[in-house]
């Protein structure tokens, strides 16, 4: 483990996967090493959430998930680089350098938990904490060729998580080893009075049944790249050989999930981000002789990134009197519709299976040409499960002709993480996962 710690600065120079690295050495040898997305507070490390507005923030407490990993014997080695406040699909919205895909440095490692996925792919025997609001664990897991799980909403306490969308945020795990997901999910799960939304959960049952049948919605196979479709079709054959029944279904509700998600996520984000005004946390170096309106406005305009401003504007608009019923209230009703359409599928099947992302990791030059709508649309396969708050897992399932990883995603019923974790391990023995070459 000492070798890993010594190699971190050089690794980070190459991949930019950390926004902060642990310094100093423990006297005791830790049981394992882990890293955490930089929107989870850590009392011994700066927590910036990918945004300049939080530069210098040293939290007074650990996030519940970080605290539990430490209590289990882990050492936090760094805070993972991410899109500012989780706003993005490619980690290109970080103010602290853009993490690189370990299979090709010209490409994105996905987002917004991009640094978490990169660390999971590059560092041996590593597990990282990620956070998913609309797909931010499965997307980078898919692009970096690792396993990632986002559990049911409320399974892991959000205490110490810097909120993006409170009704959507979920803390989960990424690793190149599927067994690590099953080992560490019980560690970070559980009721926590400091986050009441975690207190209604049933126990996590890891000895539960396996995934015996999956439903593949036909809507999920439109608008995806040839390489992804071909890797996905080959995976269906592997699944059948594992004894999993594969059925095609129709889920017309999926297309309404995207707009409903972006309305709810930005509405919640715009209120959450109202607290960043150059007082109390992070940067506080403004001119206090200004009136408060001018002080707040100048601070926020200077230090929020482009995408944060866009989402604040959108979320403020969709909550305004006159528009609220059309957007925010409507999106809440549509969420119920999407949840009930999943429940209907789960009456006959154990999981809904789709590719994770519609394409393999794109090049940075292509990402820079995308419009916001094009970039948001890339999340169309990961968003529905996130809107519904159901647990979902991404596993590597193929490689395109450039050797870039492709992932597939299984979403299961609320609280049914057990079968997903069992599946991850079964899949790990059936499919050969490639590791990136790390020249260090």
What does the alpha-carbon distance between residue 16 and residue 100 come to, in Å, rounded to a whole number? 7
Closest approach of other proteins to the CB of residue 335, in Å: 3
- Cβ proximity to other proteins, 203 vs 372, nearer residue: 372
- Cβ proximity to other proteins, 72 vs 295, nearer residue: 295
Strand ranges across the sheet with 127-132: 18-21, 74-80, 32-37, 127-132, 170-175, 147-150, 392-399, 405-411, 351-355, 213-217, 245-249
- Cβ proximity to other proteins, 182 vs 338, nearer residue: 338
Closest approach of other proteins to the CB of residue 400, in Å: 28
* Residue indicated by tokens 């699944």: 239
Closest approach of other proteins to the CB of residue 26, in Å: 22
What does the alpha-carbon distance between residue 259 and residue 279 come to, in Å, rounded to a whole number? 33
Closest approach of other proteins to the CB of residue 197, in Å: 5
- Cβ proximity to other proteins, 61 vs 106, nearer residue: 61
Closest approach of other proteins to the CB of residue 130, in Å: 19
How would you class 210 by CB atoms within 10 Å of its CB: exposed for 0-12, middle for 13-18, buried for 19 or more?
A: middle
In sequence order, what are the residues at sequence separation of 6 or more whose Cβ sits closer than 8 angstroms to the Cβ of residue 420?
Answer: 149, 211, 351, 391, 392, 393, 410, 412
Number of alpha carbons in the 13 Å side-chain half-sphere of residue 82: 34
Quote the Cα angle for 206-211-212, to 5°. 140
What does the alpha-carbon distance between residue 16 and residue 345 come to, in Å, rounded to a whole number? 41
Number of Cβ within 10 Å of residue 257's Cβ equals 28
Strands 104-108 and 127-132: unpaired
Closest by alpha carbon to 379, among 185, 112, 172, 48? 112
- Cβ proximity to other proteins, 212 vs 223, nearer residue: 223
For 248, the 3-state DSSP assignment is strand
Closest approach of other proteins to the CB of residue 71, in Å: 18
What does the alpha-carbon distance between residue 214 and residue 208 come to, in Å, rounded to a whole number? 16
Closest approach of other proteins to the CB of residue 22, in Å: 20
- Cβ proximity to other proteins, 213 vs 298, nearer residue: 298
- Cβ proximity to other proteins, 32 vs 296, nearer residue: 296
Please tell me which residue in 16, 37, 42, 341 is annotated as part of the active site.
37
Please tell me which residue in 42, 132, 136, 157 is annotated as part of the active site.
136
Q: Looking at residue 285, what DSSP letter applies?
A: -
Strands 170-175 and 127-132: antiparallel
Backbone angles phi, psi at 36, to 5 degrees: -140, 140
Let me know: does 358 contact 223? Beta carbons within 8 Å.
Answer: yes
Catalytic residue status for 136 = yes
Closest approach of other proteins to the CB of residue 149, in Å: 17
Estimate the crossing angle of helix 178-188 against helix 417-430, to 10 degrees.
160
Catalytic residue status for 108 = no
Please tell me which residue in 19, 35, 51, 112 is annotated as part of the active site.
112
- Cβ proximity to other proteins, 304 vs 359, nearer residue: 304
Closest approach of other proteins to the CB of residue 394, in Å: 19
Number of Cβ within 10 Å of residue 358's Cβ equals 20
* Residue indicated by tokens 């049981």: 31
**What tokens appear for 334 in the block?**
């549509």
Catalytic residue status for 235 = no
- Cβ proximity to other proteins, 14 vs 324, nearer residue: 324
For 317, the 3-state DSSP assignment is helix
- Which residues are tagged catalytic? 37, 112, 136
């Amino acid at each position: 483990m000492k070798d890993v710690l010594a190699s971190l600065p050089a690794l980070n120079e190459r991949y930019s996967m950390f926004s902060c690295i642990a310094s100093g050495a423990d006297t005791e040898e830790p049981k394992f090493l882990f890293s955490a997305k930089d929107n989870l507070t850590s009392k011994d490390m700066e927590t910036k959430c990918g945004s300049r507005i939080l530069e210098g923030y040293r939290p007074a407490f650990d996030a519940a998930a970080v605290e539990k990993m430490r209590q289990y014997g882990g050492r936090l080695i760094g805070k993972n680089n991410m899109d500012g406040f989780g706003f993005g699909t490619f980690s290109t919205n970080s103010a602290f350098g853009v993490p690189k895909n370990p299979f090709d440095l010209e490409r994105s490692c996905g987002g917004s938990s991009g640094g978490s996925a990169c660390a999971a792919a590059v560092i041996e025997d590593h597990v990282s904490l990620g956070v998913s609001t609309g797909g931010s664990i499965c997307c980078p897991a898919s692009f970096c060729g690792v396993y990632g799980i986002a559990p049911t909403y409320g399974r892991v306490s959000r205490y110490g998580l810097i909120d993006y969308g409170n009704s959507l945020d979920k803390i989960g795990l990424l690793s190149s080893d599927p067994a690590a997901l099953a080992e560490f999910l019980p560690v970070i799960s559980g009721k926590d009075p400091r986050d009441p939304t975690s207190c209604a959960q049933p126990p996590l049952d890891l000895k539960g049944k396996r995934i015996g049948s999956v439903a593949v919605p036909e809507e999920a196979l439109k608008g995806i790249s040839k390489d992804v479709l071909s890797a996905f079709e080959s995976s269906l054959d592997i699944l059948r050989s594992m004894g999993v029944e594969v059925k095609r279904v129709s889920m017309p509700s999926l297309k309404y999930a995207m707009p409903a998600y972006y309305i709810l996520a930005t509405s919640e984000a715009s209120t959450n981000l109202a607290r960043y005004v150059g007082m109390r946390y992070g940067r506080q170096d403004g001119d206090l002789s200004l009136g408060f309106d001018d002080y707040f406005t100048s601070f926020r305009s200077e230090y929020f990134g482009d995408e944060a401003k866009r989402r604040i504007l959108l979320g403020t608009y969709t909550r305004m009197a006159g528009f609220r019923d059309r957007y925010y209230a409507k999106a809440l009703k549509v969420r119920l519709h999407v949840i009930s359409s999943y429940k209907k599928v789960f009456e006959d099947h154990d999981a809904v299976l789709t590719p994770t992302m519609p394409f393999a990791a794109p090049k940075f030059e292509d990402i820079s040409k995308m419009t916001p709508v094009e970039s948001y649309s890339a999340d169309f396969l990961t968003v529905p499960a996130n809107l519904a708050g159901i647990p979902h897992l991404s596993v590597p399932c193929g490689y395109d002709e450039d050797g870039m990883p492709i992932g597939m995603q299984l979403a299961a019923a609320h609280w049914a993480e057990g079968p997903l974790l069992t599946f991850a391990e079964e899949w790990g023995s059936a499919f050969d996962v490639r590791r990136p070459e790390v020249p260090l």
